[in-house]
Structure 1
Amino acid sequence: MSFRRLASRSLIAAMLVGLTGYGFAETLALPPSMVSASSEEGEALLVEAEAREAYFPLVDNFVTQKTQSFCGVASMTMVFNAMALPAPEVPEYKPFRTFTQDNVLDDRTEAVVPRATIERMGMTLDQLGAAIATKPVIAAVHHAGDTNLDAFRSEARAYLADEDRFVIVNYLRKAMGQETGGHISPLAAYDAEQDRFLILDVARYKYPPVWVKAADLFAAMNTPDKDNGNRTRGYVLVAKKND
């Protein structure tokens, strides 16, 4: 069993302190159906979560989306850094290399969806999956309308319980009682007893990381996206390619 699976309550509490240290003072109120990750209940959920391998590497690389349309870009940046993929050199950090919300977009992603389009309207689920696939990973796109809650829960739980595998979700905020449109963020953990997933919301100026019911999240993904030909939103399973 890995060290991460043996993490104590105090260690996880310390991680949560780091997670909330960026300041959520002006975030919007959560709907009653959600549980803030930094609350006592949220901490307890993480301690008892059966699938949380994604949590630690994602928290180590947690970023806030730099613009209101960059939720997909921020999610990609977090996941690529969490996977320790070969990264570009960053002039201001030279000689160190890391993915940022500037360099994660390159000529290959430009062919998928131009940066100018992302800056104006963000990314659809299919554009997100194709952009992720430009890196040395396997990206499996799943539209909620083509699957069901049980399949999503099973696949996401399995990925969150394994190292170097991640789940990024695309959902409609207002379907879960938040404000208001489509959004993209990574999942970090799953608690079977309460059947909740932890969303590390990259719009940290708006909402904190939250635990949501699996059924609520799936319903929010199972919504049509007019910018994607009215196909439903959904999720992307991301895994490293075998050498």
Structure 2
Amino acid sequence: MEPISESVKKKSISDIKDTPKLQFYRRKLPDSCIPFSSPEGKKIFQEALLFGHMECYFKLAAQFRTQDEPAFCGLSTLVMVLNALEIDPEQVWKGPWRWYHENMLDCCVPVKVIEQDGINLGQFVCLAECNGLETKMIIVDENATLEIFREVLLKYTKQDDYLITLSYSRKVLSQTGDGHFSPVGGYHVERDLVLILDTARFKYPPHWVSASLLFEAMQVKDKSTGKPRGYVIMNKKPSSRPLLLFRLSDQFGITLEKSYTKSNMSMLRGWKAWLAEPCDSCVNIEGIIANAVNFLVKEATTSTQQEFIFTTQLDIKCCQGISDQHLCSIKTLIDELQDHEVYKLVDATFSTKFANTNCEALFGTPAVSFNEPSGSMKCVRMLQSQHFITLLLLCSPYKVMVDTLQNTTGAMLDTFLQQIMGLEETKYLKNEIGLLKKQFKVLFCSYKICCK
């Protein structure tokens, strides 16, 4: 074969650069799907409405949106549900309006990561729960049945205060692509058809699909988790609020593999090992908290890298557009944390032994933009190591972290903290702690750091 000349090579490269990328104006729905706006689709809607299984449709239809990014199907589905169930995010979207948008859903997974990789079912549930939703996740594995799925459709499509979202493989539906999230918009009982309100409206319009085919599509394993997909039943959690201020940092979020370092994983494993140590002599909370602070500060100060477990909500970092209600809630939350008995014990040890530690916050740091807070935002700059160590103590899921709680440091700490939290009357702190604890549980279980 004769060698290719440099001029031919350059021409070939130029031709490749000038070749336009493939473009599409939507995709044709496969025969397995019936377009919602087709004559048959309209007839199915009318009949399902008469049967009473379209009640979930109207609130979702009022909030139906097209996802902003190709990988945002999970976020857009969740935004539809949050706004349909009238959850107040307690933060401003734009202007004076408090309203959910995809860019505000960053409490479990950084939005930039989701933009590239999307989210899996566990991450979807984590995002839902830290934004005020009560969830019931059903993995479609060998224990799940089509009959139970149909019972769920029968029950929850007849009401509008519970909504169903699906995680399924498009391939089984003969659609292009693979993993996808969509909310259920209704159910035709006699024809066993489910209305899918597809948020990728640039690709496929809303459509009717057989429940049995959808069930099969949910059985397909998610490549990112190695587990089957499934569905989630969601409703507005009574007396619950979204996270107001704190969040796990990107270094310790449930996308830990994206920022893996020996230091952060070593810290988590070390914390687990310390909690699993025998504690026959643990008789009072003061001693246990003091020992915990000593261990954690030593662990942090010997780290070769500056890393944080906690940070503050990204929506607040710009210090602009925060509603007075949200700002007032933040102040109350910080006051409740500082008044908490555990904080006082942590502060007593930290101030005595580590007052000269050259680090503003070993276990957490306010978002960067808080460096120059203005006016009333100065309250957030008060956050120090003591606040974040207290959060870690209150948020750690001890029963998940330690294989056996009997006669261990983790057992005693868990018992003491439950007693104290039961006595503390707080407006915001218990909710914040509960949501963060759920995220920690996902974190530990996702990376098999400590799961039974």
TM-score range, shorter chain: 0.7 to 0.9
Q: Distance in 1 between matches of 2:97 and 2:173?
A: 40
Q: Distance in 1 between matches of 2:177 and 2:98?
A: 35
Secondary structure in structure 1 of the residue aligned to 2:234? strand
Q: Deviations over 1:63-86 (max 9, x none)?
A: 111101100000010000000111
The aligned residue for residue 13 of structure 1 is none
- Tell me if 1:36 matches 2:38: no
Matches within 5 A, 1:11-90: 26-49=25-48, 50=51, 51-87=53-89, 88-90=91-93
- Tell me if 1:120 matches 2:122: no
Q: Deviations over 1:89-128 (max 9, x none)?
A: 222xx2222111222x13xx2xx22323211110101111
Q: Distance in 2 between matches of 1:42 and 1:139?
A: 30
The aligned residue for residue 166 of structure 1 is 163
Secondary structure in structure 2 of the residue aligned to 1:161? coil
Moved more, 129-138 or 209-218: 129-138
Q: Distance in 1 between matches of 2:114 and 2:124?
A: 10
The aligned residue for residue 211 of structure 1 is 208
Q: Distance in 2 between matches of 1:242 and 1:115?
A: 27
The aligned residue for residue 187 of structure 2 is 190
The code of the aligned residue for 1:77 comes to V
Secondary structure in structure 1 of the residue aligned to 2:61? helix
User: Contact 2:103–2:111 (CA<8 Å) still a contact in 1?
Assistant: no
The aligned residue for residue 172 of structure 2 is 175
The aligned residue for residue 157 of structure 1 is 154
What runs of 5+ residues in structure 2 fail to find an aligned partner? 1-23, 240-452
Q: Distance in 2 between matches of 1:130 and 1:96?
A: 25
Secondary structure in structure 2 of the residue aligned to 1:226? coil
Give me the TM-score of the superposition, normalised by structure 1. 0.83
Secondary structure in structure 1 of the residue aligned to 2:54? coil
Secondary structure in structure 2 of the residue aligned to 1:31? coil
Q: Distance in 2 between matches of 1:78 and 1:157?
A: 21
Give me the TM-score of the superposition, normalised by structure 2. 0.45
Q: Distance in 2 between matches of 1:71 and 1:172?
A: 13
Higher relative CO (CA 8 A, sep ≥ 6), structure 1 or 2?
1
Secondary structure in structure 2 of the residue aligned to 1:194? coil
- Tell me if 1:99 matches 2:100: yes
The Cα shift of 1:53 comes to 1.3
Q: Deviations over 1:173-230 (max 9, x none)?
A: 01110002100011110000110000000000000001000000000011011201x1
- Tell me if 1:240 matches 2:241: no
Task: Please identify which structure carries the higher helix content.
Answer: 2
User: Contact 2:59–2:160 (CA<8 Å) still a contact in 1?
Assistant: no
State the number of aligned residues: 211
Identical counterparts, % of pairs: 36
What runs of 5+ residues in structure 1 fail to find an aligned partner? 1-24
Task: Work out which of the two has the higher radius of gyration on C-alpha atoms and give 1 or 2.
Answer: 2
Matches within 5 A, 1:129-140: 129-140=125-136
The aligned residue for residue 199 of structure 2 is 202
